[in-house]
Every structure is written in structure tokens, then in C-alpha cells.
Structure 1
Amino acid sequence: MKKDRFEAFTDGVLAIILTILVLDIHLNSNNHSLKVLINVLPEFAAYIVSFIIIAVM
């Protein structure tokens, strides 16, 4: 397999995985307070860690 094709394949896989990660974060649209952001913080932290791990691979 040529290097260019492998890089394109890897970029495609990375884009799909990161899109799926973003779709998993749900926000309550009724309340935009700091309390909602604090409740979502663990999911957001997990997303950031997953993003970094996948990007490094």
C-alpha cells in the first residue's frame, strides 16, 4: 500500500471516529447555566482524552 493512500485512509478513519465522539455529547437545551456545564464536564474530559489518544495514534 502506498504511503499516500494509507495517510488518506487514516485521515478518513480519524474523521469518522471523532464525529462519533462528538455526537455522544448531549446538552440540555432548556438550561444554559454553569450547573449544566459542570454536569457535562466528565463527558467533555473523556472526549478530550479520547481525541488526544486517537490523534496521537
Structure 2
Amino acid sequence: MVEGELPASTDVHVIARFIQTVQNGMSILARDGASRTELEDVAEVAMLGWEARTGD
């Protein structure tokens, strides 16, 4: 596996749904007035989920 590639066992549909869900939720938060810091905090936690799923 080349650095930056996802492992072959990665379920890309689950990853895509995860990203879509986070993006939609952050969009709603932003619309409702969340601060940049609040949105960055959400992104940071979401990346923990990404790392746990992909090993990156």
C-alpha cells in the first residue's frame, strides 16, 4: 500500500456516509450561528473517527 491510500478492507461507502453526515451537520450548525471555533472542534472530533476507521 502506498502512503495516503486507504487499506483495501476500508468500506468506502461507510466513509462517504460519515463524511456526508459530518458535513451536513456542520452546515446546519454554521447556518444556526456556530462559531468557527465550534466548527473546528467538530471537525477535530470527526477526524478522530476518520483515523480510527482508516488507520491514518
Give the TM-score normalised by structure 2: 0.51
Q: Secondary structure at the match of 1:24?
A: helix
The alignment's C-alpha RMSD in Å is: 2.6
Larger radius of gyration: 1
Out of 21, 24, 49, the position equivalent to 1:24 is: 21
Higher RCO (CA < 8 A, seq sep 6+)? 2
Distance between the aligned counterparts of 1:30 and 1:43, measured in 2? 15
Q: Count the aligned residue pairs.
A: 44
Give the TM-score normalised by structure 1: 0.50
Structure 1 unaligned residues grouped into runs of 5+? 1-6
